[in-house]
Amino acid sequence: MTNFQEKDWWKRAVIYQIYPKSFQDSNGDGIGDLPGIVRRLDYLAELGVDALWLSPVFASPQVDNGYDISDYEAIDPMFGNMEDMRTLIREAKARGIGIILDLVLNHTSDQHRWFLEARRSKDNPCHDYYIWRDGEPGQLPNKMRATFGGPAWTYVPELGQYYFHQFAPQQPDLNWANPAVRQELYAMIRRWMAEGVAGFRLDVIDQIGKDPDLEVTANGPRLLEFLRELNRETFGGANLVTVGEAWGANIPRARVYSAPDGSIFSMVFQFEQMVLDQGASKWEPKPMALPALKASIARWQQGLHGQGWNSLFWNNHDLPRIVSRWGDDGAYRVESAKALAVTLHGLQGTPYIYQGEELGLTNTAFRYDDLRDVESRNAYEELRGKGLSDEKAMAAINRVARDNARTPMPWDDSENAGFTSGTPWMMLNPAYPRINAAAAVADPDSVFATYKRLIALRKQYPIFTEGDFTLLSPDDEQVFAYIRRRGEEAMLVAVNWSGKPAAFETPAEFAAARPLLETQAPAEAGRLRPWEARILYAAGQ
């Protein structure tokens, strides 16, 4: 049972991310919903997680699956209503689990009342809630591009003006320079706090200080001023967990965002490790070199130790499945999923588990019609426009598409994997008869069992939360090994990141150490089996 009163409880916590549309449908419309989540709380309590981050469940036209919010204070009817949310908060709390809401404060939907008003006339009180520039059709204010393709400016002929949108045209950016916008958002956050949520995840929050005239989005000139004000006016001092998503963070900035004085957020959610295998574009990945990954993780572990707090994750709703990406989703699926889990959960920070990751769920081979994500669909058109065949374009998309993360949760081997009694809004991963929660919970050797054990260890041994970090053999291309230390205690994490046996000598100080977790016991001296992972613990000689 998590004690949400305890100071900095989130440092000892493990957070589970739910993509509500794809978690559990309760009424047969093929779309996951809040009552569905309530139905699965016992599963989550069994796993042992402390809090659930729900991707947005607010009213939305769903152009970007809820990251386009049309009313921050209403639940989208497809997910249920406000009473369902209160039930979820209460039922989760009864199991020691907190609810984290996903706030998208950088932009709204173009169907938000504010934007509908804003585009009526230049002197409407809401006009200045968004970012406008005068212009002629076809003469864009500048050459900024939107993340999902096309220009970042869309023309409104009635006004003779362009509005700015970092994402889809249906996601106009809010004008944070306007104090009225900020006060509206703060008041809304305070009302959610009064509902008893455990905290917030803040979407692309490092973009709110943007200056489109300077062509700057992330880390804009007024960013820190806005972040500190947001904190003071809302969750500052409330002992909630707050997670700032910041693609553009480096270590010095992350220290500011997650400063131990609590002046901005509890922790940062940054992506340096997750773009190491990205080539010229997201759709052209290059092989990931293990030494580069280790170096990056080591820098962040050491750079934030005592000076900030990091999120630990391999997956979220924007990333392909880790076992298909860096593990082996064929013969070593189970072993590699465990190996990746051990590597991550041994680190300092707050671990995140994305729904299905605890089952070792894999990527899916989509056809174009199976894709649901606006980003994937636009990318397909772009790749075809560059002359790629359907087959080549789909191969590029399937490797990294966000849709991989968004297939419905496989609960069991019944029809539609127990996700829905109706027609699922998006195709299931066809592996569900083999990879599903019921099978994993029943199997003491499952990926699920390893995650459960890792969560329990973090609760039992403060060294997971507090220990410092030393990387071993940085140049080794197969083994990822490190030591954590806390006073007299030491912990060794050793993982073979390959499908071949690897040489590995246990450091002498761990000769008499106790294994906390072994994915392929009994251990052999001097080597690790393919994808084998171990954690050893020594309490001081």
Contact flags string 82-121 toward ligand TEU, x per CB under 6 A: ----------------------x-----------------
Q: Cβ 82 to ligand TEU, closest distance in Å? A: 23
Please identify, using beta-carbon distances, which residue of 29 and 489 lies nearer to Ca ion. Answer: 29
Closest CA to 508 of 532, 534, 490: 490
Q: Does 368 bind ligand TEU (CB under 6 A)?
A: no
Kind and range of the H or E run holding 101: strand 98-103
Catalytic annotation, residues: 203, 245
Q: Which neighbouring-strand residues pair with 216? A: 211
Which positions lie near Ca ion, rule CB under 5 A? 25, 27, 29, 31, 33
Q: Give me the sign of the Cα torsion angle 86, 92, 97, 99.
A: negative
Q: What does each C-alpha distance from 364 to 328, 422, 431 come to in angstroms?
A: 14, 21, 9
Q: Which does 328 bind (CB under 5 to 8 A by kind): Ca ion, ligand TEU, none?
A: none
Q: Which of 25, 50, 76, 318 binds ligand TEU (CB under 6 A)?
A: 318
Q: Which neighbouring-strand residues pair with 470? A: 483
Q: Cβ 31 to Ca ion, closest distance in Å? A: 4
Q: Does 204 bind ligand TEU (CB under 6 A)?
A: yes
> How far is 307 from 301, CA to CA, in rounded Å?
10
Q: Does 67 bind ligand TEU (CB under 6 A)?
A: yes
Burial class from Cβ neighbours inside 10 Å (0-12, 13-18, 19+) for residue 138 reads: exposed
Contact flags string 2-41 toward ligand TEU, x per CB under 6 A: ----------------------------------------
Q: Which does 363 bind (CB under 5 to 8 A by kind): ligand TEU, Ca ion, none?
A: none
Q: Which does 31 bind (CB under 5 to 8 A by kind): ligand TEU, Ca ion, none?
A: Ca ion
Please identify, using beta-carbon distances, which residue of 62 and 446 lies nearer to ligand TEU. Answer: 62
Q: Does 459 bind ligand TEU (CB under 6 A)?
A: no
> How far is 400 from 54, CA to CA, in rounded Å?
22
Please identify, using beta-carbon distances, which residue of 147 and 436 lies nearer to ligand TEU. Answer: 147
Phi, psi angle pair for 142, to nearest 5°: -160, -170
Give the chain's count of helices (H) and strands (E). Answer: 16, 20
Q: Cβ 406 to ligand TEU, closest distance in Å? A: 10
> How far is 34 from 24, CA to CA, in rounded Å?
8
Q: Which does 27 bind (CB under 5 to 8 A by kind): ligand TEU, Ca ion, none?
A: Ca ion
> How far is 451 from 358, CA to CA, in rounded Å?
6
Q: Give me the sign of the Cα torsion angle 247, 249, 251, 254.
A: negative
Q: Which of 2, 108, 109, 147 binds ligand TEU (CB under 6 A)?
A: 147
Q: Which does 375 bind (CB under 5 to 8 A by kind): Ca ion, ligand TEU, none?
A: ligand TEU
Q: Which does 204 bind (CB under 5 to 8 A by kind): Ca ion, ligand TEU, none?
A: ligand TEU
Q: Cβ 249 to ligand TEU, closest distance in Å? A: 12
Please identify, using beta-carbon distances, which residue of 64 and 76 lies nearer to ligand TEU. Answer: 64
Please identify, using beta-carbon distances, which residue of 57 and 435 lies nearer to Ca ion. Answer: 57
Phi, psi angle pair for 52, to nearest 5°: -115, 120
Q: Which does 29 bind (CB under 5 to 8 A by kind): ligand TEU, Ca ion, none?
A: Ca ion
Q: Which of 33, 76, 203, 328 binds ligand TEU (CB under 6 A)?
A: 203
Q: Does 335 bind ligand TEU (CB under 6 A)?
A: no
Q: Which does 72 bind (CB under 5 to 8 A by kind): Ca ion, ligand TEU, none?
A: none
> How far is 223 from 282, CA to CA, in rounded Å?
26
Cα atoms in the Cβ-side hemisphere of radius 13 Å centred on 482: 25
> How far is 229 from 209, CA to CA, in rounded Å?
12
Q: Does 64 bind ligand TEU (CB under 6 A)?
A: yes
C-alpha R_g of the chain = 23
Q: Cβ 375 to ligand TEU, closest distance in Å? A: 6
Is residue 264 within 8 Å of 200, Cβ to Cβ?
A: no
Contacts by 54-60, CB closer than 8 A, 24 or more apart:
54/18, 54/20, 54/99, 54/100, 54/101, 54/102, 55/17, 55/18, 55/19, 55/20, 55/21, 55/102, 55/317, 56/101, 56/102, 56/104, 57/20, 57/85, 57/101, 60/109
> How far is 407 from 28, CA to CA, in rounded Å?
16
Q: Cβ 439 to Ca ion, closest distance in Å? A: 24
Please identify, using beta-carbon distances, which residue of 316 and 519 lies nearer to ligand TEU. Answer: 316
Q: Does 170 bind ligand TEU (CB under 6 A)?
A: no
> How far is 75 from 80, CA to CA, in rounded Å?
6
Q: Cβ 148 to ligand TEU, closest distance in Å? A: 7
Q: Which of 122, 282, 305, 527 binds ligand TEU (CB under 6 A)?
A: 282
Q: Which does 25 bind (CB under 5 to 8 A by kind): Ca ion, ligand TEU, none?
A: Ca ion
Binding site for ligand TEU (CB under 6 A): 64, 67, 104, 147, 167, 203-204, 247, 282, 317-318, 375, 402
